[in-house]
Amino acid sequence: MLSIDLTGKRALVAGVADDGGFGFAVAKAFAEAGASVCVATWPPALNIFLNLLERGKMDESRRLSDGSLLTFERIYPLDAVYDAIDDAPADVRESKRYKDVGDFSIGGMAQRLVDDFGEQPLDIVFHSLANGPEVKKPLLETSRAGYLAASSASAYSLVSMVQRLGPLMRPGGNVCSLTYMAGERVVPGYGGGMSSAKAALESDTRVLAFEAGRKHGLRVNTISAGPYASRAASAIGIISKMVAYCTANSPLPQDLEAAEVGATAAFLASGLASGITGSTVYVDKGYHAMGMAVTMPSGTEIVGS
């Protein structure tokens, strides 16, 4: 019988700050498959996340199929717009939410992993990072700074992570990220350069699959997930409309569940997917296959000029 078995493997999921998004669902799926799991959390959200864990506020969502609770080997602070701690401006390093967490850069996280687990500590890296400070602005109104910030946090961060974590990964390692249909097609309201960042992420996935495959023996893929009303996605401003529209117009007219993305990530990380790399894998109830709307649910109209 075929099964997803990640026993003995260590996964790092970057971009987990609560139990309501894809990153948490991916971490839980890795644990269900037998992997040990570390997570990386944005410093301003770190204390809130730790408090939720310590107070048992996420115990129900952490419960695994065998009745045990999902636990994290390590929780690292990570601001993935900085490759090294010296890249962060002094006002960031000295701010209240950053000054006591240590080296929160990608390079700092890589060094902590080595310090904690040895020279090749990882088998799986999952990139669940995205941020666009001007995501509510149309592209025509997006500033250069906003556009570049979206690309830095949402796309280049994957490149930087593969640069620094690739050499730390064991043979047969897997890297995966999260993308969205807006990288291929127009989604009005998904602005601020985020659609460009997702397009870059998908292109980088293909190039990294070649380069990291030849250099480190890694597989690199990305999951194109349908819209999901996580806390982070609320920043888009129209997420409920996006969910309703896609549900009504998908071949499978059902809301996407985060666990479905988690299961796909676990499959891609396993030996069952040993021949899959450089791919965009759609987990969106088939919405990507549609070329014409079936229905326009009430309240989902988006007016653009």
Cα 88 from Cα 264, distance rounded (Å): 34
Tokens of 301: 């109209």
Residues 180, 228, 245, 287: which is the catalytic one? 180
Residues 76, 98, 190, 287: which is the catalytic one? 190
Contact assessment for residue 136 and residue 192, using Cβ atoms and an 8 Å cutoff: yes
Nearest one of 184, 272, 273 to 224, comparing CA atoms:
184
What's CA 128's distance to the chain center, in Å? 1
Nearest one of 254, 241, 134, 121 to 194, comparing CA atoms:
134
* C-alpha pair distances (Å), 230 with each of 75, 141, 258, 283: 21, 26, 9, 16
190 noted as active-site residue:
yes
Contact assessment for residue 11 and residue 125, using Cβ atoms and an 8 Å cutoff: yes
**In this structure, is the dihedral angle defined by the CA atoms of residues 226, 73, 61 and 153, taken in order, positive or negative?**
negative
282 noted as active-site residue:
no
What's CA 305's distance to the chain center, in Å? 32
The residues annotated as belonging to the active site are 180, 190
